[in-house]
């Protein structure tokens, strides 16, 4: 597609429920990144994919968080047993592999855990 597409744009969920966030990167971009931005905070790195592999999962905050990417394209970030501290904007970005180019971000998913 023309840009990075994320869905849903907004998600309100009850504490303890599982949620899935979807990212569809720019066509041809082999690298895909998930970041989290909490209110008034900076961008927190979560995970990086090169193709379907995730060489670095070190940013995932807990084992409740997982992510996968299939077909070198769409990625899903899953949060199990959501907690209120998971409330944030989850941003997906993509780029041409390990290039010198910056990322292109999607519009984000605003997750609210009540």
Partner 1 sequence: QKEVEQNSGPLSVPEGAIASLNCTYSDRGSQSFFWYRQYSGKSPELIMSIYSNGDKEDGRFTAQLNKASQYVSLLIRDSQPSDSATYLCAVRAGAGSYQLTFGKGTKLSVIP
Q: Does 101 bind partner 1 (CB under 8 A)?
A: yes
Smaller CB distance to partner 1: residue 84 or 100? 100
Nearest-Å Rg of the Cα atoms of the chain is 13
Distances (CA, A) of 14 to 2, 53, 113: 33, 31, 6
Q: 3-state SS of 31-65?
A: EEEEEEECCCCCEEEEEEEECCEEEECCCCCCCCE
| 1 is a contact residue toward partner 1 (CB under 8 A) | no
Q: Taking CB under 8 A as the rule, which mask of x and - marks residues 29-68 in contact with partner 1? A: --x-x-x-----xxx-x--x-x----xx------------
Residue nearer to partner 1 on the CB measure, 45 or 81? 45
Nearer to partner 1 by Cβ, of 57 and 81: the residue is: 57
């Amino acid at each position: 597609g023309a840009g990075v597409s994320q869905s849903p744009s907004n998600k309100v969920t009850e504490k303890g429920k599982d949620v899935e966030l979807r990212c569809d990167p720019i066509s041809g971009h082999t690298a895909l990144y998930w970041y989290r931005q909490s209110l008034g905070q900076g961008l927190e790195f979560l995970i990086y994919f090169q193709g379907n592999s995730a060489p670095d999962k070190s940013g995932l905050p807990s084992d409740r968080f997982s992510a996968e990417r299939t077909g070198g394209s769409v990625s899903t970030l899953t949060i199990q047993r959501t907690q209120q501290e998971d409330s944030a904007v989850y941003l997906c970005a993509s780029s041409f592999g390990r290039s010198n180019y910056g990322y292109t971000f999607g519009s984000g998913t605003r997750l609210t855990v009540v």
